[in-house]
Amino acid sequence: MGRLLGFGDAAPWFEARCTANPTYQFNSVGGRYIVLCFFRSAANEIGKVALRGFQDASQVFDDFNAAFFGVSNDPADEAQARVAQSIPGYRFFWDFDAVVSQSFGVDEIPQTFLLDPRLRVIARWPIGENPVEHVSSVLTTLASLPPVEPSSLAKVQAPVLVVPRLFEPNFCRTLIAYYEDRGGEDSGFMREKEGKTVGVIDYSHKRRRDQEIDDETIRNMCMHRIHDRLIPEIEKAFQFRATRMERYIVACYDASEGGHFRAHRDNTTKGTAHRRFAVSLILNTGEFEGGHLRFPEFGSQLYSAPAGGAVVFSCSLLHEATPVTNGRRYVFLPFLYDEPAAKIRQANLKYLG
């Protein structure tokens, strides 16, 4: 059995028999919020009450903004027609061998998962002794989320990936406090000089302060969250599997210093040629003004992410961090690469000044 999935984890893709299809592909349900309820058996009073509560909320599950999937482990639920699909909104998986349940880490304790439109876990609740309260908690959380936007014609945009819910709010505050306790230091940028890659300080081009994370525990917490929550999204979008991460830093763009970083690329020197993807993980969205990402080759649109989320893009894209005009913008800024790129990095160490 796999571990019990939690916040930020990608839901496993599976094929299972469903009331809607004998070979239902779960990966096809993305694009809306999913309530996935592992109720075990509709003969159980707790499961029965929970299902009734979800089914009473038919206005919520319209298949556009949200859909409900129940998962049964009891063959009698099918044989005795204890549950039935209702389109739009309600479908049930027959998981009599518990393969689907085990892939989510669910054992004898019934659980309900709320998944985002990318099929990642937003929240999970065990179905306890009060199924009415359980349903209320799930529906309240679902109602608090931004609705799925209606279809519209897309504008030309940069090939970037915006991924929310990578770092929890408390962990974002931990990283900000880590920076504040130490204060950071001037951050330069890399240039080629006389065949060497060297760091340069030029406030007209970049004004930022960086704090290296030396605490091994916090570094590991960052690494595991990036590995478990972000790497699968990058692989899905770009068919690239990152295996290595460069830099564990919290950076601060401070409006009082005119914090900014003019247009640049992240892999144009020998010392940076191994970098494949840049991650701009914003820790305090809503607490500052300005400080957006812009990709001039693709227009003047501005990009950001909710607190704890990231904008991810190829290191070869021209990009800038626009000036922060009020407050402080805190970001976690790693670069990602893979094993072939690691060989390039090793070969180019001799060029570092």
Task: Look up residue 164 and give its amino acid.
Answer: P
- Dihedral of the CA atoms 238, 242, 247, 251 (nearest 10)? 30
Regarding whether 173 and 100 lie in a shared domain, the answer is: no
**55 lies in a domain?**
yes
Position 2 scores a pLDDT of 76
Q: In sequence order, which ranges of the chain are alpha helices (DSSP H)?
A: 45-55, 75-79, 99-103, 131-144, 169-182, 216-225, 231-238, 339-347
Regarding whether 220 and 173 lie in a shared domain, the answer is: yes
Residue 216 — very low, low, confident or very high, per pLDDT cuts 50/70/90?
very high
Regarding whether 292 and 169 lie in a shared domain, the answer is: yes
**83 lies in a domain?**
yes
- Inform me whether the pLDDT recorded for 1 exceeds 80: no
Regarding whether 300 and 169 lie in a shared domain, the answer is: yes
Over residues 230-268, the pLDDT tens digits come to 999 999 999 999 999 999 999 999 999 999 999 999 999
**240 lies in a domain?**
yes
Q: Where in the sequence is the domain holding 217, given as residue range(s)? A: 161-351
Count CA atoms within 13 Å of residue 158 on its CB side. 25
Residue 314 — very low, low, confident or very high, per pLDDT cuts 50/70/90?
very high
**Mean pLDDT value of segment 1-29:** 92
Percent above pLDDT 90 for the chain = 91
Position 20 scores a pLDDT of 87
Position 193 scores a pLDDT of 84
Regarding whether 262 and 127 lie in a shared domain, the answer is: no
Over residues 135-173, the pLDDT tens digits come to 999 999 999 999 999 988 888 889 999 999 999 999 999
Regarding whether 77 and 41 lie in a shared domain, the answer is: yes
**Mean pLDDT value of segment 31-59:** 95
Residue that is written with structure tokens 């003969």 in the block: 43
**165 lies in a domain?**
yes
Percent above pLDDT 70 for the chain = 100
**43 lies in a domain?**
yes
Regarding whether 292 and 253 lie in a shared domain, the answer is: yes
**Mean pLDDT value of segment 50-61:** 96
Bridge partners (DSSP) of residue 162 are 311
Position 352 scores a pLDDT of 86
Q: How far is CA 91 from CA 10, 60, 306, in A?
A: 21, 14, 31
**205 lies in a domain?**
yes
Regarding whether 341 and 208 lie in a shared domain, the answer is: yes
Domain count, the chain: 2
Position 123 scores a pLDDT of 97
**7 lies in a domain?**
no
Q: What is the biggest distance separating any 2 CA atoms in the chain, rounded to whole angstroms? A: 79
Distance CA 41, CA 241 (A): 39
Regarding whether 278 and 133 lie in a shared domain, the answer is: no
Regarding whether 307 and 171 lie in a shared domain, the answer is: yes
Give the predicted TM-score (pTM) of the model. Answer: 0.89
Question: What sign for the dihedral angle of Cα 137, 4, 129, 131?
Answer: positive
Q: What is the rounded average pLDDT for all residues in the chain?
A: 95
**1 lies in a domain?**
no
Strands 15-18 and 21-25: antiparallel
Regarding whether 96 and 168 lie in a shared domain, the answer is: no
- Inform me whether the pLDDT recorded for 31 exceeds 90: yes
